[in-house]
Amino acid sequence: MVYDDPESREKWKQGLKEAIETSKRTGAKHALIVPGALDSKLEMEYQTANVIDCLREMSEIAAFHVGDNPGRKEPGTGEINYRNIFKHIHQKGYDGVLCMEHGKSLKGIVGEKALIEAYRKVDNF
């Protein structure tokens, strides 16, 4: 399900807020809410159409899973603006985990170097 219209996005964000509040009320210390899990074929970017707008709605995030889309490769190989996302979460004081949940766009040592350079670029804000 892709949320292209504002009404559907708002419903999805409200559901996310409710999940976070339920986790807090029940005292769940190890609850994990995974926004991208709503439709495993689609990433959060496609489900919300605006990652940073969605992140503003979230009060607590345990970990970010990084993988550009399409292709699930390092940042900069797809359509997600990771520089803006990293800047936003840094400004919010996030000090949690960034999970490199992707492959490499290039093979061998060239791919390793490209991956390192990709993270340097998105971390340069």
Judge contact between 35 and 16, C-beta under 8 A. yes
Residue 51 has a pLDDT of 72
For 5-19, 55-69, 75-89, which range has the lowest pLDDT when averaged over its residues?
5-19
Judge contact between 101 and 65, C-beta under 8 A. yes
What contacts 118, CB < 8 A, 6 or more positions away? 74, 75, 76, 77
Judge contact between 67 and 56, C-beta under 8 A. no
pLDDT digits (tens, 9 = 90+) for 14-62: 666 676 777 777 776 665 555 544 444 445 544 445 677 767 655 566 7
Residue 68 has a pLDDT of 86
pLDDT digits (tens, 9 = 90+) for 104-121: 999 999 999 999 999 999
Residue 2 has a pLDDT of 41
Domain ranges for the chain:
6-122
Between CA 44 and CA 49 the distance in angstroms is 8
